[in-house]
Amino acid sequence: MKTLQSLEKTVHALIAEGKGILAADESAGTCDKRFDAYGIPKTPEMRRKWRQLLFSTSGIQNGLSGVILYDETIKQKADDGTPFPKLLQGRGIIPGIKVDGGTVPWEGSLSEKITNGLDGLLGRLAEYHTLGARFAKWRAVITIGEGLPTEGCIRENAIRLAMYARACQVADIVPILEPEVLLDGTHTLARSKEVLTQTLEIVFEEVQKYGAHLEGLLLKSSMALPGKESGLTASPEEVATATLDAFTASVPASVPGIVFLSGGQTPEEATIRLNTIVQMAKAQKAPWVTTFSYSRALQAPVLEYWKGQEANASGAQAIFEKRVKESSLASKGEFK
Ligand code: 13P
């Protein structure tokens, strides 16, 4: 790989102090589902208006290092004709791209899922690089339940993540590996930590087997949390301890950074827990930088205010600016 230095430069820009990533890479279908809740028309034009509102919010460049886009979005333009990747670059924000093809039921166990998208990946990466993308995301989902996850499903997802990581690095694109351990379920915090540890151990085993350059990638992870339907609660300190214990057991020290998904936590929960994780990671002198790569925890209150109405746009942007600022503070362990 001739591009190691270039990959590392992108990685370090993405995890710069006080910065994190906005995941705005919802597929058209997922974005439409979010729009449905407010009766917003499900059209490419409304999805474009929504992304324009987010990307043109003032001040966000102080807290965002990168934005993950979707295939439709990376090809869309702002009202003045500026392509979205260019608009972001102009603000010092690195454009990224979701390249997985979504999940399908896994034949090995029908209640688990596997992520598709390796076919034609190198060609798509070359195209996205031309469009300005310098990092990418691939999401696998790991389900906790009765007898789940199976090692077979974790392994198959890990192999695909590793192959994706290699392909990205060859294309001078930083891969973000996202094996999301789902919040859904009745499991305990201890079980979540156990599954997170097992998943990440297998992922990094395969990533190393396939020869991906660890210093040139980022991990996107869930926090260890009790299942959403468990009726259990955990303090930010308990969440941070369990999460960092899982990482210490499974994530090589040469991985530069771990970014968190919000995964159905409220914006407040995601912010407070990140703040505590960062404080604890700093106190433990953890080898990796920890920050955010949220979608819902950054966007949900903004969409709720906007509702697709032009008259609400500036108010929605004020909420987004505040969400980015709070997340940025949390990524430094300074959120109060
Ligand atoms: P959430 O923060 O809404 O979990 O989304 C993050 C993401 O990128 C999921 O793939």
Which is catalytic among the residues 33, 193, 220, 228?
Answer: 220
CA of 264 to the centre of ligand 1 (A): 8
291: in domain: yes
Output the CA 199–ligand 1 centroid distance in Å: 18
Q: What is the CATH number of the domain that holds 259?
A: 3.20.20.70
70: Cβ below 6 Å to ligand 1? no
How far is the centre of ligand 1, averaged over its atoms, from the C-alpha of 100 (Å)?
Answer: 14
Residue type, 5: Q
Q: How many CB atoms lie within 10 A of CB 44?
A: 13
223 assigned to some structural domain: yes
Query: Residue 92 Cα, ligand 1 centroid: separation in angstroms?
Result: 22
Within 10 A of 133 (CB to CB), how many other CB atoms are there? 27
Residue 200, in any domain of the structure: yes
Indicate the SS3 state at residue 174. strand
Q: 267: Cβ below 6 Å to ligand 1? A: no
Residue 141 resides in a domain? yes
Quote the number of domains for the chain. 1
pTM tops 0.85, yes or no: yes
- For residue 68, the ligand 1 atom closest to its alpha carbon is 8
Residue 153 beta carbon below 6 angstroms from any ligand 1 atom: no
Ligand 1 contacts CB of residue 303 (under 6 A):
no
Alpha carbon nearest to ligand 1 atom 8, residue: 23
To the query of whether residue 220 is one of the catalytic residues in this protein, the response is: yes
The residue nearest atom 5 of ligand 1, judged by CA position, is: 295
Tell me what pLDDT residue 2 has.
53
* 19 part of a folded domain: yes
221's tokens: 């992870």
Domain span including residue 245:
2-331
Nearest-angstrom CA–CA distance, 148 and 217: 28
Digit-by-digit pLDDT tens for the chain (336 residues) are 557 999 999 999 999 999 999 999 999 999 999 999 999 999 999 999 999 999 999 999 999 999 999 999 999 999 999 999 999 999 999 999 999 999 999 987 879 999 999 999 999 999 999 999 999 999 999 999 999 999 999 999 999 999 999 999 999 999 999 999 999 999 999 999 999 999 999 999 999 999 999 999 999 999 999 999 999 999 999 999 999 999 999 999 999 999 999 999 999 999 999 999 999 999 999 999 999 999 999 999 999 999 999 999 999 999 999 999 999 999 999 999
Q: How far apart are CA 32 and CA 39, in angstroms?
A: 10
Residue 47 resides in a domain: yes
Is there a domain that residue 336 lies in? no
List, in sequence order, every residue forming a beta bridge with 105; answer none if it has no partner: 113
Using the atom order of ligand 1, give the atom closest to the CA of residue 178: 10
